Chain A
Amino acid sequence: MERDGMTFRQYLAAIGVALFSPISRLLPRGVLRIAGFSGWLSPLAALPFLLLEVCMVKRLVTVEGETLGLGEALERRLGRGPGKAVTALLTLWIVFYGGVMLRAGGERLLSTIYPSAHLGFFLPAILGLSVVFALGKLRTAGRCALVLMLFFTVVLALSCAVALPSLRWDYVWPPDFSRAGDIALGALPVMDVLSPWALLSFLRGRVSRDENCRNRAWRCMLFLAGLTVLLLLATIGDLGPALALRQQYPFFVMVKNLRLFDLLERFDAMVVGIWVITDYVLLGMLLLSSSAALQSLSGSRHRQVWVPPCAGGMLLAAFLVARNAFSFAAFSERIVPGVNLALVFVLLPVLSLIPPGKKLEKTEK
């Protein structure tokens, strides 16, 4: 009765839920800084590049009609040595990126609903649950992701719907098309935030085959872009562009100031609490991807043995990456996106153009 593995739908759902975390944390400020109040259009400007990224990743992992994990695909294209080197580089980056995301999740909890708490509690707690996610069966992770995708779509839509009455259209409409260039540049933070799509494709070989995978992936990307537009509209339209830009986490500040008639107020605590789940899924997926990459590097039998070292690396990176929240904000909003974009939109497309070499001996999964 064992029907193991993740389906492609579940894989897409996991990526979607994972990306809710950086979307809500980074994007409102990211696009506002570049494109101003018309930044809510930037996800639409980013859409062609994101769809291209989907195609590029598919091309990269498809070798002679077979879908492989990114590690195996790189070895086939570049040869064993260079392939492993690139895999190692990407794996290091995934672990580091995971550490940055972990730190971001902890900082967000402290800045919003637990101002008197300690980072030293939240980082291991968040990572701990992500480790459980990564150590378990892939199909369990996939099922969780599909349920959570449904749940978060509803939560995000409801938050935006509750925000609608207090939305001031003056803040967002009509868009300033004289800044079309800035709106296009505003696509860069969107592309950065949605770039982990490529980093997670080390798992691609463990996902069941789907004849319709490209269309499904495009639909998923369109859906994420649409949700992002909605989130940006609600945040900028509710707070105003100048005020939103001054906030560390504008989306959560917007939620903090919502009131549901007189029944419920200040449900930011609930939304922030629920949003931690996206961190669990993001870190869990990064752990799954990095452990799959290390397994393909080392040729070991079980992927799970690599999860604790990757988790340890993430925890170390999270603690050491910055001394305080101020330096961390600068680091995570400028340096990390730059490296991410370079890896995903420069390195990987170049690699996808290299034709695959002859088939190497198979490594065990």
Chain B
Amino acid sequence: MKRAVLFLLLPLLLLSGCGDGRLVFGENREIEQLVPVETLGVDRSGELITVIASSASLGDRLLLKTPGVTLARAMREMQNYTEKKYIFFGHTRQLLLGEAAAREELTECLAFVERDAALRLDTRLYVVQGGTAEDAMVLPAGGGQSVGDLLESLEKDVTLLSESHVTTCAEVSEALAGRGCALVSALAAVRTENVLSAEEGEAVILLSTGYALVTPEGLCRFLDLNLSRGVNLLTGEVGGDVIEAPDGEGHWFAAQLTGAEAKFRPGYEEGELTVLDIELKLSCTLSELPHTTDLSDPSVICTLETAIAALEQARITAVLDLSQALGLDFCDLGTRVRRASSLRFDAMETPWEELFPGLEISSSVSVNLERSYDGTVSTVDVREVR
């Protein structure tokens, strides 16, 4: 009986991917026929969607662009435009949305990424400010690097500079569903003369412009770098950003941000949240200051700390005001408040989304200048030695 069953199964092996693979799987392909796509861009113009694909390559770049009414159609069309057999989306690392597409196609794009078997949910999502995804993918002169490499490099830079935090499609989808808004890393293709090796004197590079605030309806607005840094302070995702502040004697000094910790103190009255106090503690390290500054004097340190605190206070106040004005908790304060007092938070009758816009929020910033990297306490000592 066993053998009969096995013999019955054997012909099924013929209906498989050995040859063409069309009968059963249709999945088999020779590896050298693949064109792996690294970066995908989506633009919208009128009723049409345009998909741009940049392939990963060791040297050769391949850029393809196809229009369609839907994403799926546009991506399928792309198969016609290469001499290789199959454009493969399984290695897509980044998804760029042009500004128009972000306004009108955002949730459709995210839903497509969720459904598609090839694309991953941890694909990094970007919005191109003031331009199209095509511009961002075609124009940058990367010295032979692909767009994907440039974007990977950008991802590291924005984290370091606390300009924004690169989010994945999964994080954006979850945030949109959970709190009705999300922050997506925004960038722009910028012409600059700062790249001295550029042949024509001007190069196009990709620069971070902060965050794009999105809702389920689409792109809401952009947050500039200042606001974005404020958001990062509140969320605790600071890299090694350098803060420049006046020292009160007509000079400027620079300090590197090494850590940010926000404490949330919610106040409840009759079971409802009425007030929220946010205390932000920053730790910094001095990286540059005028040579006449005497660091051994505590009052000097205090002055520097106060200057930094004032700067950061202004930032987070602007962020909180904007967040409440829009009625969108894009800093995810609700989660932080809940973490601080989960039982009382969960027991509230009024949901957080309704409370938030009118909530009385106060904030304070304290700065601790921990050290200076060169180890010198004061330049005055050096002059005395000489």
Kindly state the separation between the CA atoms of A247 and B120 in the bound complex, as whole angstroms: 13
Closest to A113 in B: B117
- Known contacts A116-B26, A128-B9, A239-B121; decide if A136 and B2 are in contact (CB<8 Å): yes
> Would you call A132 and B6 a contact (CB within 8 A)?
yes
Is the contact region of chain B dominated by helix, strand, or loop, or is it mixed?
helix
| Interface window among B37-45, B170-178, B256-264 | B170-178
> Would you call A121 and B178 a contact (CB within 8 A)?
no
> Would you call A121 and B24 a contact (CB within 8 A)?
yes
* Residues of the B chain whose Cβ atoms lie less than 8 Å from the Cβ of A176: 342, 346
How many residues of chain B are within 8 Å of chain A by beta carbon? 34
Closest to A175 in B: B342
Give per-residue flags for A244-271: 1 if the beta carbon is below 8 A from chain B beta carbons, else 0: 0011000001001101000000100000
> Would you call A247 and B114 a contact (CB within 8 A)?
yes
Kindly state the separation between the CA atoms of A113 and B9 in the bound complex, as whole angstroms: 22
* Residues of the B chain whose Cβ atoms lie less than 8 Å from the Cβ of A170: 332, 335, 339
> Would you call A115 and B117 a contact (CB within 8 A)?
yes
Q: Shortest Cβ distance from A273 into chain B, in angstroms?
A: 13
Whether, in the assembled complex, B58 has its beta carbon less than 8 Å from a beta carbon of chain A, the answer is no
> Would you call B1 and A308 a contact (CB within 8 A)?
yes
Kindly state the separation between the CA atoms of A174 and B346 in the bound complex, as whole angstroms: 10
Kindly state the separation between the CA atoms of A223 and B163 in the bound complex, as whole angstroms: 46
Whether, in the assembled complex, A112 has its beta carbon less than 8 Å from a beta carbon of chain B, the answer is yes
Whether, in the assembled complex, B196 has its beta carbon less than 8 Å from a beta carbon of chain A, the answer is no
Whether, in the assembled complex, B12 has its beta carbon less than 8 Å from a beta carbon of chain A, the answer is yes
Whether, in the assembled complex, A304 has its beta carbon less than 8 Å from a beta carbon of chain B, the answer is yes
How many residues of chain A are within 8 Å of chain B by beta carbon? 41
Closest to A174 in B: B342
> Would you call A243 and B174 a contact (CB within 8 A)?
yes
**Which among A112, A114, A118, A242 is the interface contact of B178 at CB below 8 angstroms?**
A242
* Residues of the B chain whose Cβ atoms lie less than 8 Å from the Cβ of A166: 122
Kindly state the separation between the CA atoms of A241 and B179 in the bound complex, as whole angstroms: 12
Whether, in the assembled complex, A74 has its beta carbon less than 8 Å from a beta carbon of chain B, the answer is no
Whether, in the assembled complex, A178 has its beta carbon less than 8 Å from a beta carbon of chain B, the answer is yes
Kindly state the separation between the CA atoms of A128 and B6 in the bound complex, as whole angstroms: 7
B1-43 contacts to A, CB under 8 A, are: 1-2, 5-6, 8-9, 12, 15-16, 23-27
> Would you call A243 and B117 a contact (CB within 8 A)?
no
**Which among B9, B24, B177 is the interface contact of A117 at CB below 8 angstroms?**
B24
> Would you call A256 and B120 a contact (CB within 8 A)?
yes
Closest to B342 in A: A174
* Residues of the A chain whose Cβ atoms lie less than 8 Å from the Cβ of B382: none
Kindly state the separation between the CA atoms of A51 and B276 in the bound complex, as whole angstroms: 45
> Would you call B12 and A121 a contact (CB within 8 A)?
yes
* Residues of the B chain whose Cβ atoms lie less than 8 Å from the Cβ of A174: 338-339, 342
A103-127 contacts to B, CB under 8 A, are: 111-118, 121, 124-125
* Residues of the A chain whose Cβ atoms lie less than 8 Å from the Cβ of B8: 128
> Would you call B25 and A116 a contact (CB within 8 A)?
yes
**Which among A115, A135, A175, A266 is the interface contact of B2 at CB below 8 angstroms?**
A135
Kindly state the separation between the CA atoms of A117 and B27 in the bound complex, as whole angstroms: 8
**Which among A117, A247, A307 is the interface contact of B25 at CB below 8 angstroms?**
A117
Give per-residue flags for B102-127: 1 if the beta carbon is below 8 A from chain A beta carbons, else 0: 00000000000010010011100000
Whether, in the assembled complex, A189 has its beta carbon less than 8 Å from a beta carbon of chain B, the answer is no
> Would you call B117 and A178 a contact (CB within 8 A)?
no
> Would you call B24 and A243 a contact (CB within 8 A)?
no
Give per-residue flags for A272-314: 1 if the beta carbon is below 8 A from chain B beta carbons, else 0: 0000000000000000000000000000000010011000000
* Residues of the B chain whose Cβ atoms lie less than 8 Å from the Cβ of A114: 25, 27
> Would you call A241 and B178 a contact (CB within 8 A)?
yes
* Residues of the A chain whose Cβ atoms lie less than 8 Å from the Cβ of B27: 114-117
* Residues of the A chain whose Cβ atoms lie less than 8 Å from the Cβ of B173: 240, 242-243, 246
Whether, in the assembled complex, A131 has its beta carbon less than 8 Å from a beta carbon of chain B, the answer is yes
Kindly state the separation between the CA atoms of A131 and B114 in the bound complex, as whole angstroms: 36
Whether, in the assembled complex, B385 has its beta carbon less than 8 Å from a beta carbon of chain A, the answer is no
Kindly state the separation between the CA atoms of A246 and B23 in the bound complex, as whole angstroms: 31
Closest to B8 in A: A128
Q: Shortest Cβ distance from B25 into chain A, in angstroms?
A: 5
Whether, in the assembled complex, A326 has its beta carbon less than 8 Å from a beta carbon of chain B, the answer is no
Whether, in the assembled complex, B267 has its beta carbon less than 8 Å from a beta carbon of chain A, the answer is no
* Residues of the A chain whose Cβ atoms lie less than 8 Å from the Cβ of B338: 174
> Would you call B170 and A243 a contact (CB within 8 A)?
yes
* Residues of the A chain whose Cβ atoms lie less than 8 Å from the Cβ of B16: 121
Kindly state the separation between the CA atoms of A117 and B335 in the bound complex, as whole angstroms: 43
**Which among B24, B117, B332, B342 is the interface contact of A118 at CB below 8 angstroms?**
B24
Q: Shortest Cβ distance from B337 into chain A, in angstroms?
A: 12
Give per-residue flags for A53-76: 1 if the beta carbon is below 8 A from chain B beta carbons, else 0: 000000000000000000000000
* Residues of the A chain whose Cβ atoms lie less than 8 Å from the Cβ of B178: 240-242
Q: Shortest Cβ distance from B296 into chain A, in angstroms?
A: 43
Whether, in the assembled complex, B130 has its beta carbon less than 8 Å from a beta carbon of chain A, the answer is no
- Known contacts A114-B25, A178-B347; decide if A135 and B117 are in contact (CB<8 Å): no
Whether, in the assembled complex, B358 has its beta carbon less than 8 Å from a beta carbon of chain A, the answer is no
> Would you call A239 and B25 a contact (CB within 8 A)?
no
**Which among B122, B174, B342, B347 is the interface contact of A257 at CB below 8 angstroms?**
B122
Kindly state the separation between the CA atoms of A253 and B170 in the bound complex, as whole angstroms: 11
Kindly state the separation between the CA atoms of A241 and B342 in the bound complex, as whole angstroms: 17
* Residues of the B chain whose Cβ atoms lie less than 8 Å from the Cβ of A266: 90, 120
Which of B9, B15, B347 has the largest count of A CB atoms less than 10 A from its CB?
A: B9
Kindly state the separation between the CA atoms of A168 and B9 in the bound complex, as whole angstroms: 45
* Residues of the A chain whose Cβ atoms lie less than 8 Å from the Cβ of B177: 240, 242-243, 246
Kindly state the separation between the CA atoms of A136 and B24 in the bound complex, as whole angstroms: 29
> Would you call B339 and A253 a contact (CB within 8 A)?
no
B131-166 contacts to A, CB under 8 A, are: none
> Would you call B9 and A121 a contact (CB within 8 A)?
no
Closest to A112 in B: B117
Q: Shortest Cβ distance from A309 into chain B, in angstroms?
A: 12
> Would you call A124 and B1 a contact (CB within 8 A)?
no
* Residues of the A chain whose Cβ atoms lie less than 8 Å from the Cβ of B114: 243, 246-247
Kindly state the separation between the CA atoms of A300 and B332 in the bound complex, as whole angstroms: 67
Add 16 more A-B contacts to A242-B174, A308-B1 (CB < 8 A). A113-B117, A114-B27, A115-B27, A115-B117, A117-B25, A117-B27, A177-B342, A177-B346, A178-B346, A239-B170, A240-B170, A243-B121, A246-B173, A257-B120, A257-B122, A266-B90
Which residues of B come within 8 Å of A, CB atoms?
1-2, 5-6, 8-9, 12, 15-16, 23-27, 90, 114, 117, 120-122, 170-171, 173-174, 177-178, 332, 335, 338-339, 342-343, 346-347
**Can you list 8 contacts pairing A with B, beta carbon distance less than 8 Å?**
A115-B27, A121-B12, A121-B16, A124-B9, A125-B9, A241-B174, A242-B173, A243-B173
Which residues of A come within 8 Å of B, CB atoms?
111-118, 121, 124-125, 128, 131-132, 135-136, 166, 170-171, 173-179, 239-243, 246-247, 253, 256-257, 259, 266, 304, 307-308
Closest 7 CB pairs of A and B: A240-B174, A242-B177, A116-B26, A178-B346, A174-B342, A128-B9, A243-B174
